[in-house]
Structure 1
Amino acid sequence: MRTLLTRAGLLLAGALTATLATATPAAAHGADAPDGTDYRTEVTAVTPARPGLDVRTVEAGARLELTTTGDRTVEVLGYSGEPYLRVGPDGVYENLRSPATYLNRTIAGDTRVPAEANPAAEPDWRRVDDSSTVRWHDQRALWREAAPPPQVRAAPDREHRVRDWVVPLRDGTEPLEVRGTLDWVPPPDAYTWWVVATLGLLAVGALGLLPAASAPGARALRVVGALLVSGGVAAVVSTVGREVDGGASGVGGVLVGLLGGQVWALLTGLGAIAAGAYALALRPAADFAVALAGACLALFAGLANAAVFARSIAPAPWPATTARLLLALVIIAGTGAVAAGALRLHSASRTPTPPPPGGAVSRK
């Protein structure tokens, strides 16, 4: 059994090392929920102001969110001034004749527009939701080009105003406008964050060099367990924060969002907390539990969100620096736990088995 655990731990360590060596920042949550961006989209005003009408940005600025309360029905106008969305007490509707209905389905705006879409035609409304809140990508509030604007290319280390944008609305027959800004924000130095994470995981992994059966080894296991609990908490907090930034509100809304798109990150965070507590109690096979939970934590909640290190705007309701610190803690705790657990398993496999009482030698 001990040999099996040792091999499993070493296999986990090797798999994680290979992943680290080939990892690149990836959008692990789909094109419509970016892991970060260097363009800051903000809503500055709704003019003229209307009580019960609120517009904000969600998903790190990738979408606009409009909420209306009471008996007010508001229309969002498309790129040719045609009715595009309708939001009111009877729910959310989209106009199947509006080209924006199709162009705004992805952040890239690359959905094919069908021939029957005609901004000059009478609206063909289809009900898509029973709430009074709608979220959509809007090309007027985004930078869709692959290359940055000329002023950014000339001075990429400075913040730049890319443009002021306007999205037209209609309240009954009265026109309204959502006004906002789009700015370039210089990205952080991802190299610095990776150095911090690497040094941290090496320090945690080094705890596995202490003899597993010794008193210092037991204390080291408790330290690794405590760090794994901390990394799991950081993963859960980051995952919940991402849902809040995506527009989820209330406990029910957050839970629905987590189960719908962030379930693996949530489960690995909770698993790391459980495994860390198991190690703190010095339970049998704690080394294997730590290595397994650490690998899952580092892969699903850490490396999957690595783009946060290289983006100035993070998908979180708190400052981007806080998001990077949480990510660094997840990677340090997860990867360090894999290394420490694997080393302890290897050390235990090399420890001679004490002879049975009386000096008898067992035969296989």
Structure 2
Amino acid sequence: MIPAAPPIPSARPVPAALRRAGLVATAALAALLALATPAAAHGADAPDGTDYRAEVTALTPARPGLSARIVEAGARLEVTNTTGRDVQVLGYSGEPYLRIGPDGVYENTRSPATYLNRTIVGDTQLPAQADPAAAPQWRRLSADPSARWHDQRTLWRESEPPPQVAADPTRQQRVRDWVVPLRDGDTMIDVRGTLDWVPPPDPYPWWVAATLGFLAVGAAGLTPAGSRAGGRALRAVGALLGLGGLAAVAFTVGRELDAGAAGPGAVLLGLLGGQLWTLLTGLGALAAGGYALARRPAADFALALAGACLTLFAGVANLAVLSRSVVPMPWPAGLARVLVTLVLATGAGAVAAGLLRLRTAARTPHPTRPPARAAH
């Protein structure tokens, strides 16, 4: 009888769940890299928050079909003209700058404002052709009867606050009244507005709330993964991450509305064209939350990955909302802070819970093959 050779230790098989998790991670990273370039270009000149509130107070004289408003947290002035006649916006030297009418929006390539208003700081180099005294040369920008632009008359562009604000930054106060002139044929129309300093909120309570939420959600990862309590904890984290995804989607829609989108179609086009990055992050968190609620394989990894994306791209990217009084949303600033705090708490908490559960699963002993029987 020849004794059987001792079994040769074999490599530990890779669980199917981890293989699927690797595929999910690879696909997600590929999608993120593919979308990074176009998404980063959107809204590069729109502030995430500010402490200067610009408002349109009146059009004098009023014209039916002619309206104006401030969009993008005060970054741009929007004028819409549905009167059926062309209306000109005058530049900083009184020259024709924009023409808005039934044929769309045109800009005067001879106006210095055409170049200065391309950035919110107004630091564009003027070309030789910019001459406010020259005859206008019109170039079409869009077919819509609505124009949005950075107007230096409505903004505070200095790095230091005004003297009166520096003397007492804790009090809301008027910085200045402003006027942007329009011309309707031979009639001059003034877009009148105000620029106010609004003291910023204290971000400390919001950071405390986000931290406590993170700890509460992350603590769910301490329950044993294979137990009944672990299953309940997994579903709870999934539900909370889905709630954070909804908050991210709501915040993204709010930013698009504040950017001037009107109507469901315009909002959808804006989301797909410029806010796709944050929108997909929120939708990904919703999907991962549903995946965890169903207790699917690799749900822990999905929670950690989606939570990390939600935290970075919908939470950290919008941290300015917690410490700025004017936010890029048409809703109360307090609601915007609640949404961002919810995103931070659930996203970071899902990362912690997912990683803790993965660590527990990795330490759980796997059944080994029985030793080979001796040959007789």
Q: Same fold (TM over 0.5)?
A: yes
Q: CA deviation at 1:103?
A: 0.4
Counterpart residue type for residue 261 of structure 2: A
After superposition, the C-alpha distances for 1:296-336 in whole angstroms (9 at most, x for unaligned) are: 11111111111111111010110111001000111111110
* Equivalent in the alignment of 2:185: 172
Q: Are 2:170 and 1:160 aligned?
A: no
| Structure 1, unaligned runs of 5 or more | 13-26
After superposition, the C-alpha distances for 1:35-76 in whole angstroms (9 at most, x for unaligned) are: 011000000000000000010010011101110114121110
| 127-136 vs 67-76, greater mean Cα deviation | 67-76
Matches for 1:136-155 after TM superposition, within 5 Å: 136-155=149-168
Q: Distance in 2 between matches of 1:268 and 1:361?
A: 48
Q: CA deviation at 1:3?
A: 11
8 Å CA contact 2:66, 2:83 repeated in 1: no
Q: Are 2:314 and 1:306 aligned?
A: no
Q: CA deviation at 1:202?
A: 1.4
| 176-185 vs 27-36, greater mean Cα deviation | 27-36
Q: Percent identity?
A: 71
Q: Are 2:52 and 1:33 aligned?
A: no
* Equivalent in the alignment of 1:54: 67
2:250 partner SS: helix
Matches for 1:236-275 after TM superposition, within 5 Å: 236-275=249-288
Q: CA deviation at 1:192?
A: 2.4
Counterpart residue type for residue 89 of structure 1: P
Which of the residues 294, 305, 317 maps onto 2:307? 294
Q: CA deviation at 1:205?
A: 0.5
Q: Are 2:303 and 1:276 aligned?
A: no
Which of the residues 203, 206, 209 maps onto 1:190? 203
8 Å CA contact 1:3, 1:349 repeated in 2: no
Counterpart residue type for residue 326 of structure 1: L
Counterpart residue type for residue 71 of structure 1: G
Q: Distance in 2 between matches of 1:84 and 1:325?
A: 40
Q: Distance in 2 between matches of 1:113 and 1:299?
A: 37
* Equivalent in the alignment of 1:106: 119
Q: Are 2:46 and 1:66 aligned?
A: no
Counterpart residue type for residue 200 of structure 1: G
8 Å CA contact 1:29, 1:35 repeated in 2: no
Q: Are 2:236 and 1:227 aligned?
A: no
8 Å CA contact 1:227, 1:276 repeated in 2: yes
* Equivalent in the alignment of 1:315: 328
1:187 partner SS: coil
Q: Are 2:231 and 1:218 aligned?
A: yes
After superposition, the C-alpha distances for 1:78-105 in whole angstroms (9 at most, x for unaligned) are: 1111110000001101111111110001
Greater relative contact order (CA < 8 Å, ≥ 6 in sequence): 1
Matches for 1:13-24 after TM superposition, within 5 Å: none
8 Å CA contact 1:2, 1:349 repeated in 2: no
Cα distance change of structure 1 residues 175 and 277 upon mapping to structure 2, 3 Å threshold: same
Q: CA deviation at 1:225?
A: 0.4
| Structure 2, unaligned runs of 5 or more | 1-13, 26-39
8 Å CA contact 2:43, 2:274 repeated in 1: no
Matched residues, number: 343
Which of the residues 210, 214, 217 maps onto 1:204? 217
* Equivalent in the alignment of 1:16: none
TM-score (norm 1): 0.90
1:287 partner SS: helix
The root-mean-square deviation of aligned C-alpha atoms, in Å, is 2.0
Q: CA deviation at 1:30?
A: 4.4
| 140-149 vs 184-193, greater mean Cα deviation | 184-193
Counterpart residue type for residue 346 of structure 1: R
8 Å CA contact 2:17, 2:298 repeated in 1: no
Counterpart residue type for residue 209 of structure 2: V
